């Protein structure tokens, strides 16, 4: 009984205006203390025990964001409901808008600006950075390689993914599921991890020593001399690109498999009655029916391939004529510290994907009527 | 594998004979692809348990054929890479970065998605279109200016800097995904909560969030793996003074590219968390990877 009356008085107390104000202020002060104190602790305290650092990091990282929304909401609730409801959208949106503004919108504009400036970002130098990108001999190789990546990796991964999707569609459900998860598995592996895996596949030992890389083991077993695959210009680009195919085929397969299963059975049946072979009905019925999905998969992988620098970074660091725009951007900006050139390379990547942006926004308008 | 292959049954096709003949090349092709897609990873796993001498003396497949030669097997590679090569430390740092870098964007995005879907304010359509546009801005466009600010204010190399950077880069996708889900909650549910006197905070935390668990789970898995597997953001904003799994592994490749006993064990340690997630939460994993494929 006393419990009930106690809780009632507490909730009555909480409804009192003064208490509510004090509560909101206390919550806000605590939140700020938590965030600021935690930040300096994590930045400057290096001698603290591991567990303490982990605890503080998780409390700040996970609890901090919730405390922030909670205290801002508490302040908004001090007002009358009608006023509160006009303030709250901004409370709920403010962190998102600030983060997007600082981490994407402002830097993107700034990067475009920097791309016309010298290496320190002090003086405008016109189009020099772009002229360098499109005339320097080493850069032309970088552009050629990037084009090769963008043309090959998405098409091969998509075609192979589609082929597998259609083929396993005839398997028993369990067999289909197991096959698909094997092919999808590399999606879980980081680009760095995958690169180590494939460095080991491509490993080279001079003739006479045991070949520990499986590719050279097979190649020498067929009577050839071992090859240092990743140094063979310009073929080595293909061996790097294959790693991306290996990583992305599962993605294409899963999406296209769903699309293939969505092709109406009576369409395929009609084609069969008309005497079309499996292969012909695949090209004349299935592909036209799912071409929208195929296009989506292709553009998605193109977009990914443009940005990923990890594979080339780990496999060759861009040596042996294997550099690509995303890796060169990293090297120019963060190894050479040439911010102008790095920015120009980023802008090149951005310009290539702008059509995709237009397509996204347009697709959005269509779906919303 | 062969036992499995014999159970594969091909459905459809004109005659039993053609069916059988037509099925064989297809099965062989699929089998070949499955082998190419799994053998490299298997080689990594097997080699990580072989001694340095054994790795140099014979291919890992030979080690597997002579499985009973127990001299070749060891767990020392893991001991070595975890402690002498800092991988345990890196693993710990990766967790400290990845967990908040997953929770923060989900929280911020869920509040924003709720506001865009269910609250009235001028410009909400426009805001949503902008967020969809931001989805495809490449990461590279953000790195240099943000790094300059980070360096000026000493945020570079901090956990907070990493959390917020990953929050920023993951936020358009998170908002887009959660908006799709939250906006499809029936209007009557939200309105009846409102009529019962629920404040927006209450209807968000007690109604909308629990209902959105499937979308949150899909995004959480995608973001967790993206941050865990990320190399670029970590190299630029965290540096290598304090290791995380990807930067440490990349450094090991650079400094000891031929020490396969170290590299294979190291690589497997970086992969273990994603693989556990993959095998235990496969459905959410696939959904998350599908939905996340548009990330910029």
Asked if residue A160 lies in contact with residue A304, where contact means CB atoms within 8 angstroms, the answer is no
Q: Are residues A43 and A159 in the same domain?
A: no
Q: How far is CA A222 from the centre of its chain?
A: 40
Could you list the residue range(s) of the whole structural domain that residue A30 is in? 2-114
Q: Are residues B63 and B112 in the same domain?
A: no
- The ipTM value here is 0.89
| pLDDT tens column, A330-340 | 999 999 999 99
Locus of tokens 């073929």: A235
**Among A53, A200, A300, beta carbon nearest to B47:** A200
Give just the sign of the alpha carbon dihedral A236, A237, A240, A246: negative
Report, in angstroms and rounded to the nearest whole number, the Rg of chain A calculated over CA atoms: 29
Q: Which strand (E) or helix (H) includes residue A362?
A: helix A339-367
Q: Are residues A247 and A192 in the same domain?
A: yes
Q: What is the mean pLDDT of residues A236-264?
A: 93
Q: What is the mean pLDDT of residues B106-118?
A: 95
Q: What is the mean pLDDT of residues A142-150?
A: 96
Domain boundary among B31, B55, B74: B74
Q: Are residues A84 and A182 in the same domain?
A: no
The predicted structure's pLDDT at residue B5: 39
A328 has a pLDDT exceeding 60: yes
The enclosing domain of B272 has a CATH number of 1.10.3720.10
Answer whether B92 touches A (CB < 8 Å).
yes
CA distance to A51, A228, B26, B94, B263, per residue, from B87 (Å): 17, 29, 43, 10, 11
End-to-end CA distance of chain A: 58
CB contact under 8 A, A192 and B129: no
> Helix or strand or coil: residue B73?
strand
Could you list the residue range(s) of the whole structural domain that residue B139 is in? 81-294
CB contact under 8 A, B30 and A164: yes
Pick the range with the lowest mean pLDDT from A108-112, A154-158, A246-250, B274-278.
B274-278
Q: What is the mean pLDDT of residues B193-220?
A: 90
CB contact under 8 A, A346 and B143: yes
Pick the range with the lowest mean pLDDT from A146-150, B6-10, B134-138.
B6-10
What span, in angstroms and rounded, lies between the C-alpha atoms of B107 and B102? 9
> Helix or strand or coil: residue A117?
strand
* Distance of residue A227 Cα from the nearest chain B Cα, in angstroms: 16
Residues of B in contact with A355 (CB under 8 A): none
**Among A69, A111, A317, beta carbon nearest to B145:** A111
Q: Are residues A110 and A148 in the same domain?
A: no
The predicted structure's pLDDT at residue B13: 45
**Looking only at Cα atoms, what is the longest distance across chain A?**
91
Residues of B in contact with A248 (CB under 8 A): none
B4 has a pLDDT exceeding 50: no
Asked if residue B134 lies in contact with residue A104, where contact means CB atoms within 8 angstroms, the answer is yes
Query: What percent of chain A lies above the pLDDT cut of 70?
Result: 93
pLDDT bucket at B8, cuts 50 / 70 / 90: very low
Domain boundary among B42, B74, B106: B74
Q: What is the mean pLDDT of residues B51-61?
A: 93
| pLDDT tens column, A71-123 | 999 999 888 888 898 999 999 999 999 999 999 999 999 999 999 999 999 99
Of A295, A311, A187, nearest in space to A249 by CA: A187
Average pLDDT, chain A: 89
Residues of B in contact with A168 (CB under 8 A): 30
CB contact under 8 A, B108 and A99: yes
Answer whether B21 touches A (CB < 8 Å).
no
Q: Are residues B91 and B217 in the same domain?
A: yes
* Distance of residue B293 Cα from the nearest chain A Cα, in angstroms: 7
Q: Are residues B30 and B96 in the same domain?
A: no
CB contact under 8 A, B132 and A121: no
A280 has a pLDDT exceeding 90: no
Domain boundary among B37, B52, B74: B74
């Amino acid at each position: 009984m006393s419990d009930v009356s106690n809780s009632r008085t507490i909730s009555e107390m909480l409804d009192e205006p003064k208490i509510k104000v004090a509560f909101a202020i206390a919550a806000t002060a605590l939140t700020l203390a938590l965030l600021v104190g935690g930040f300096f602790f994590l930045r400057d305290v290096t001698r603290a025990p591991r567990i303490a650092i982990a605890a503080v990091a998780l409390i700040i990282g996970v609890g901090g964001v919730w405390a922030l929304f909670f205290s801002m909401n508490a302040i908004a609730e001090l007002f009358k409901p009608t006023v509160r409801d006009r303030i709250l959208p901004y409370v709920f949106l403010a962190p998102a808008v600030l983060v997007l503004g600082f981490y994407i919108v402002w830097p993107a504009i700034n990067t475009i600006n920097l791309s016309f400036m010298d290496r320190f970002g002090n003086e405008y130098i016109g189009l020099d950075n772009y002229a360098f990108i499109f005339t320097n001999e080493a850069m032309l190789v970088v552009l050629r390689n990037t084009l090769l990546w963008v043309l090959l990796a998405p098409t091969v991964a998509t075609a192979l993914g589609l082929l597998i999707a259609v083929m396993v569609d005839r398997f028993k459900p369990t067999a289909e599921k197991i096959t698909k998860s094997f092919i999808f598995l590399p999606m879980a592996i980081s680009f760095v991890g995958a690169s180590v895996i494939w460095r080991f596949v491509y490993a080279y030992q001079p003739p006479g020593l045991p070949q520990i890389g499986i590719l050279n083991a097979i190649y020498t077993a067929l009577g050839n001399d071992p090859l240092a695959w990743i140094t063979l210009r310009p073929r080595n680009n293909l061996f790097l690109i294959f790693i991306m195919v290996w990583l992305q085929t599962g993605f294409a397969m899963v999406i296209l498999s769903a699309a293939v299963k969505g092709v109406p059975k009576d369409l395929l049946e009609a084609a069969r009655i008309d005497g079309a072979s499996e292969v012909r009905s695949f090209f004349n019925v299935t592909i036209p029916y799912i071409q929208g999905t195929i296009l989506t998969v292709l553009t998605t992988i193109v977009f990914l391939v443009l940005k990923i620098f990890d594979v080339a970074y780990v496999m060759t660091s861009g040596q042996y004529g294997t550099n690509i725009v995303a890796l060169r951007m990293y090297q120019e900006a963060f190894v050479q510290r040439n911010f102008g050139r790095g920015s120009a390379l980023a802008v090149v990547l951005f310009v290539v994907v702008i059509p995709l942006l237009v397509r996204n926004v347009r697709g959005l308008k269509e779906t919303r009527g | 594998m062969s036992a499995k292959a014999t159970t594969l049954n091909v459905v459809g096709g004109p005659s039993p004979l053609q069916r059988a003949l037509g099925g064989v090349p297809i099965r062989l092709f699929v089998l070949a692809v499955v082998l190419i897609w799994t053998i490299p990873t298997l080689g990594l796993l097997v080699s990580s348990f072989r001694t340095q001498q054994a790795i140099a003396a014979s291919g890992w497949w030979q080690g597997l054929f002579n499985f009973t030669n127990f001299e070749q097997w060891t767990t020392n590679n893991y001991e070595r890479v975890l402690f002498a090569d800092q991988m345990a430390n890196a693993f710990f740092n990766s967790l400290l970065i990845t967990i908040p870098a997953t929770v923060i964007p989900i929280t911020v995005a869920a509040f924003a998605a709720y506001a865009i879907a269910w609250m009235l304010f001028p410009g909400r359509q426009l805001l949503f279109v902008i967020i969809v546009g931001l989805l495809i801005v490449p990461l590279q466009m953000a790195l240099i200016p943000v790094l300059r600010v980070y360096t000026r204010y000493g945020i570079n190399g901090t956990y907070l800097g990493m959390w917020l950077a990953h929050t920023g880069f993951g936020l358009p996708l998170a908002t887009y995904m959660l908006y799709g889900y939250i906006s499809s909650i029936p209007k009557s549910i939200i309105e009846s909560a409102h009529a019962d006197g629920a404040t927006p905070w209450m209807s968000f935390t007690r109604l909308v969030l629990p209902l959105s668990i499937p979308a949150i789970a899909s995004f959480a898995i995608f973001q967790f793996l993206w941050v865990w597997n990320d190399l670029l953001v970590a190299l630029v904003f965290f540096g290598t003074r304090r290791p995380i799994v990807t930067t440490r592994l990349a450094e090991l490749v650079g400094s000891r590219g031929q020490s396969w006993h170290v590299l294979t064990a190291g690589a497997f340690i970086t992969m273990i968390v994603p693989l556990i997630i993959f095998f235990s939460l496969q459905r959410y994993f696939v959904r998350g990877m599908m939905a996340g494929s548009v990330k910029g």
